[in-house]
């Protein structure tokens, strides 16, 4: 049986009178590429904020590898292996590409620095950063100031920053947002490579339905805060309710 790495039970988030996430039971298999789709305002980002620890749920439970992590604070969740993608605004614009990724690796290292360990550790973080940059296809651009990167490369840099923190699960919220459509396939190749070669579990929110249908192993459809349907891409594309509530003209089988 496939192992469930992440699970929510009746997870709920209310903002005043608005129920943004409505008693969601989500089950994510270890090593899967699992997409969450749904119209704007469906609660996808709020769900990620709950899982990542950016928001506290109104009620419900989050379990990671069977352990209740509902009350574990944000920074500890990163150490447990949940990686939430950083926004472009979290990139230090005046540092180089490599420095940005090395800092992320360093921030995860729990050791206290002293003169003896400093140099060796520094090298380790730098190697980890180089590996992450290679994985996303930014090798050769290590010394560029981050703000000189074109938009598509900035999204790759965000992924490298995330990878440098060694997450087991990556929460990617619309990683292709703002990218020119011809650049999207390349980013998706990177995401698939991270998934396949890196053995990572990926939870993906993505609005490009062709991409979602192509790369997902499992899809959860959210609508008005609740799960409307779940299944393989084929099952979701053929689901009448999903077609009516969301896919409509976006995607036809």
Q: Using CB under 6 A as the criterion, which residues of the chain lie in contact with ligand ADP when the complex forms? A: 15, 18, 20, 38, 40-46
Answer yes or no: are the C-beta atoms of 138 and 200 closer than 8 Å: no
Q: Which does 46 bind (CB under 5 to 8 A by kind): Mg ion, ligand ADP, none?
A: ligand ADP
Answer yes or no: are the C-beta atoms of 36 and 57 closer than 8 Å: no
Neighbours of 49 (CB within 10 A): 21
Q: Which does 38 bind (CB under 5 to 8 A by kind): Mg ion, ligand ADP, none?
A: ligand ADP
Shortest approach of ligand ADP to residue 22 CB, angstroms? Answer: 10
Shortest approach of ligand ADP to residue 122 CB, angstroms? Answer: 38
- Name the DSSP class of 148: G
Q: Which does 43 bind (CB under 5 to 8 A by kind): Mg ion, ligand ADP, none?
A: ligand ADP
Answer yes or no: are the C-beta atoms of 12 and 35 closer than 8 Å: no
Shortest approach of ligand ADP to residue 34 CB, angstroms? Answer: 16
Token pair belonging to 180: 């020119």
Question: With respect to ligand ADP, which residue has the nearer C-beta, 18 or 74?
Answer: 18
Residues 41-60 that bind Mg ion (CB under 5 A): 44-45
Token pair belonging to 126: 């730098």
Question: With respect to ligand ADP, which residue has the nearer C-beta, 43 or 233?
Answer: 43
- Distance CA(181)–CA(19), nearest Å, equals 33
């Amino acid at each position: 049986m496939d192992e469930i790495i992440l699970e929510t039970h009746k997870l709920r988030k209310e903002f005043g009178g608005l129920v943004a996430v409505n008693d969601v039971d989500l089950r994510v298999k270890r090593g899967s590429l699992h997409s969450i789709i749904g119209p704007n305002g469906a609660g996808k980002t709020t769900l990620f904020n709950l899982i990542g620890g950016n928001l506290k749920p109104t009620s419900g439970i989050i379990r990671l590898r069977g352990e209740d992590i509902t009350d574990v604070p944000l920074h500890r969740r990163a150490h447990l292996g949940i990686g939430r993608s950083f926004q472009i605004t979290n990139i230090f614009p005046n540092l180089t590409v490599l420095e940005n990724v090395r800092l992320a690796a360093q921030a995860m290292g729990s050791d206290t620095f002293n003169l003896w360990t400093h140099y060796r550790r520094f090298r380790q973080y730098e190697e980890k950063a180089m590996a992450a940059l290679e994985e996303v296809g930014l090798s050769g651009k290590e010394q560029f100031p981050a703000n000189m990167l074109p938009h598509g490369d900035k999204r790759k840099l965000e992924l490298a920053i995330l990878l440098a923190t060694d997450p087991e699960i990556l929460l990617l919220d619309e990683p292709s947002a703002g990218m020119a459509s011809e650049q999207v396939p390349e980013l998706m190749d990177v995401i698939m490579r991270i998934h396949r070669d890196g053995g990572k579990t990926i939870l993906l929110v993505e609005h490009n339905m062709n991409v979602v249908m192509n790369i997902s192993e499992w899809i959860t459809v959210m609508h008005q805060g609740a799960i409307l349907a779940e299944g393989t891409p084929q099952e979701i594309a053929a689901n009448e309710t999903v077609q009516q509530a969301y896919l409509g003209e976006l995607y036809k089988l």
